[in-house]
Structure 1
Amino acid sequence: MWWADSVVRMISRRGVLLAAGLSLLPSRASAAPSIVKPLPATDFVVHGTNAETRWEALRGTGSLTPVSKFFVRNHTSTPLLDATSWRLRIHGSGVSRPLSLSVRDLRALPSCSVEAVIECAGNGRSFFTSQQGQAVAGTPWRLGGIGNARWRGVPLGLLLRLAGLRAGAVDVLPAGLDADYVTGGVNLGRVRRPLPVAKALDDVLVAYEMNGADLPPDHGFPARLVVPGWAGIASIKWLGSIEVSTSPLHSPWDTQYYRLLGPAHPPEGTPVTEQVAKSAFELAWGATVPAGRHVLTGRAWAPGGVRRVEVSTDGRTWRRATLVSRGGWTRWQLPWQAAPGEHVLRVRADDQPDESPYNTQGYLFGAVVRHPVTVV
């Protein structure tokens, strides 16, 4: 494309686009706790190295999740990286002009912004057990392993074209700069997971801003991928390199983890890619509320967007909620005359089912969640 050639010439004139053969400069990281930002109990439930957002903490926050309330999914610990020495290396058999880009180089390129949710593949995992009576492995998220932000950065497709994407390229393998992940005495290396080139060229962003400011450490500083519609594992944080290959690429995060395994799947499993539709109330789990008139609020989301939201407060009938705003997710509201007693509230986005297909790792729970509430 003409703009890609122009950008290559512009970078060459500045003398900062490096040629093939240069190695990735090491990014210095100092020791850090698992998560850097404060995790007040009013906003988060902590699961080991992860922090789940409490849904009641989102009420009144608008469409974008404040960084202070955005969930954190870490395999190890948040690294503290030095932006002055950071480089993003794009290399491999699938490109003809390998690149090594600094933060300054990245920010000098044409940019765009997108509002998109990032959601853990295991979001809702606990409901496989509590609602469906099925044993699953992994972090017991309810529905707070998700956040919505406005991300700014450079389209990955632009970077691949600047690197001379070859016609035969099939996969890209982004890798993070967090510490190696060791489990069961086996070192699996840094977190990395392949993406097909078709998706990489579609809507994937190499982001350096979140909600109008530099990425915070816990959310990928100085740069991360944002892969709209796909499970969060695809949106690699603390991005350090992207291998582009003319043959399929793999890592433990697509062969050992993030595969759907179980009786409904082939023995080798099915890779986790797109997320599924979900919906939630902005209410504490097991909330106690006074009798009388309330306005129920919440959010619903799906890879292709949400057309309608319906709420049931009596376990039998459904009422259509008013959609308040659309974007990365859809905010909704519905009036409710609450009578004293025990209630189970339900909300569904479009055609969410009553049961989610089982898999042993508890990925992609997409059934309607039964939310308990006591009215006094």
Structure 2
Amino acid sequence: MRPGEQDEADLTDEATYESVRSPSRRGLLRMSAGAGLTAGLGAGLTAAFAQDPASAATGIVKPLPPESFIEHGTNAEMRWEAMRGQGYLTPADRFFVRNHVATPLIDARTWRLRLWGTGLRDSPAEDRPIEFSYADLRRFPAETITSFIECTGNGRGFYASQQGQEVSGTPWRLGVVGVARWRGVRLSAVLRRAGITRQAVDIMPRGLDADYVDKGENLGRVRRPLPVAKAMKDVLLAYEMNGAPLPPDHGHPVRLVVPSWVGIASIKWLGDIQVADEPLSSPWNTRYYRLFGPSYPEEGTAPLTRMNVKSAFELPWDTALPARPQLLHGRSWSGNGRIRHTEVSVDGGRTWRRARPLDHHPNPRGWVRWEFPWRPERRGRYGLLARATDETGASQPPTAPYNTLGYLFGAVVRHPVTIV
């Protein structure tokens, strides 16, 4: 089988994906727990980029005006009201920031992308990799895709506030998602140029941000395996966002964009890619980004891949609206493909009516904007509900299945407003 010829259906079902890429989930979980995980990665990449040490310690580089963002430590959640009137794309100055540590400042002139491993011809070692400069990548044929990137924990806060269930992690509402126009080079083109073999199974992209330490344990740089079939299909090495070079907080000089998949797959500040002829693992596909809890196996589910269906109103949270006719706006999206329709309820879910779509040829990798006319019948408190259905028939349920890390909250969200 040539790289990339595996059926994509194998990758959309998490259990199938896991059985294809790994013979033993329990074994991988054990591997992620100790120093053995990083043995094959060596001491790390050579510092082939210019970095301001003071800036590297400040967390997020871009301004975070409170009218556009909710700050969560080294992370920043977009306020949905900031998207009202912004058009289809999320501007870079409103795009959410999800960092494990601080945003690094990297000089594109000295940056190199290093590829190495047993899945390449001649099996180049980490200390003698195949290298591509920023200028090298820009000499490849360029491709542009419009795609959302979404944190796997988007909506996590609603496990507690709507379902009374405690979970760990940042209590996001729905603002860790954004749609941008990404320009770059196909990952498949670079892998072919580097000499990927028929025996290649997984790749392991790794970022250039600082090592991540969890409860005193150094887990190394952020990295997560990606099956070769997905890597060769539609993944982009992006160097532009919305027509401009990537900003530092969004991966400058080069990041991965893995359409429709969990955001952790779209590694920022890409530094190297291991290409292997055997399954790879890291904490980001063993101890994190699986579903754990009383309804799941001890080692968790298979690693999470596609995102689920969600909808959001372009309204401030718990806002006051005047007692007159309103035209509500919102957006719906799904990792499964195009949104078929969105319904809105203004009476707590007793009745539902279709919202009017504003994008009549929906992008399967993006979202659909919609509007909904509403004439409030009285003053007082309301809970606005929006639920979408995608082209596979998947829809937003009343409640989300519980998992301890709070991933993939896909239930209908009750958005509180007061008519005054």
5+ unaligned residues in a row in structure 1: which ranges?
Answer: 1-22
1 CA distance for matches of 2:114 and 2:403?
36
Q: Name the aligned partner's letter for residue 51 of structure 2.
A: A
C-alpha deviation, 1:29, in angstroms: 2.0
Contact 1:46-1:52 at 8 Å conserved across structures: yes
2 CA distance for matches of 1:291 and 1:148?
33
Q: Map 1:1-376 to 2 at 5 A.
A: 26-31=48-53, 32=55, 33-96=58-121, 99-270=130-301, 271-303=303-335, 304-315=337-348, 316-325=350-359, 326-327=362-363, 328-338=366-376, 339-350=378-389, 351-376=395-420
Q: Secondary structure of 2:325's match?
A: strand
Larger strand proportion, structure 1 or 2? 1
2 CA distance for matches of 1:305 and 1:144?
20
Give CA deviations for 1:159-190 in whole Å, capped at 9, x if unaligned: 11111111111100000000111122211111
C-alpha deviation, 1:373, in angstroms: 0.6
C-alpha deviation, 1:257, in angstroms: 1.3
Q: Name the aligned partner's letter for residue 335 of structure 1.
A: P
TM-score normalised by structure 2 residue count = 0.83
1 CA distance for matches of 2:235 and 2:399?
31
C-alpha deviation, 1:25, in angstroms: 6.5
1 CA distance for matches of 2:102 and 2:165?
30
The match for 1:13 is none
2 CA distance for matches of 1:323 and 1:130?
29
Q: 121-130 or 267-276: which moved more?
A: 267-276
1 CA distance for matches of 2:148 and 2:328?
22
C-alpha deviation, 1:337, in angstroms: 0.5
C-alpha deviation, 1:24, in angstroms: 6.0
C-alpha deviation, 1:27, in angstroms: 2.0
2 CA distance for matches of 1:168 and 1:264?
36
Q: Name the aligned partner's letter for residue 384 of structure 2.
A: L
2 CA distance for matches of 1:300 and 1:192?
29
1 CA distance for matches of 2:384 and 2:153?
22
Q: Name the aligned partner's letter for residue 26 of structure 1.
A: A
Give CA deviations for 1:341-364 in whole Å, capped at 9, x if unaligned: 111100001121011111100000
Give CA deviations for 1:126-147 in whole Å, capped at 9, x if unaligned: 0011111111000000000111
1 CA distance for matches of 2:304 and 2:171?
18
C-alpha deviation, 1:30, in angstroms: 1.8
Q: Name the aligned partner's letter for residue 348 of structure 1.
A: R
Q: How many residues align?
A: 354
C-alpha deviation, 1:284, in angstroms: 0.6
Q: Secondary structure of 1:80's match?
A: coil
2 CA distance for matches of 1:242 and 1:111?
20
Give CA deviations for 1:194-213 in whole Å, capped at 9, x if unaligned: 00111101111000000000
Q: Secondary structure of 2:340's match?
A: coil
Q: Name the aligned partner's letter for residue 212 of structure 1.
A: G
Q: Secondary structure of 2:312's match?
A: strand
C-alpha deviation, 1:28, in angstroms: 2.8
Give CA deviations for 1:275-328 in whole Å, capped at 9, x if unaligned: 100000001110100011111000000011211000001121000011102331
Contact 1:25-1:85 at 8 Å conserved across structures: no
TM-score normalised by structure 1 residue count = 0.92
Q: Secondary structure of 1:292's match?
A: coil
RMSD: 1.1
1 CA distance for matches of 2:49 and 2:211?
14
5+ unaligned residues in a row in structure 2: which ranges?
Answer: 1-44, 123-128, 390-394
Q: Secondary structure of 1:202's match?
A: coil
1 CA distance for matches of 2:74 and 2:84?
25
C-alpha deviation, 1:272, in angstroms: 1.6
1 CA distance for matches of 2:321 and 2:195?
59
2 CA distance for matches of 1:95 and 1:324?
46
Q: 135-144 or 261-270: which moved more?
A: 261-270
Q: Secondary structure of 2:197's match?
A: coil
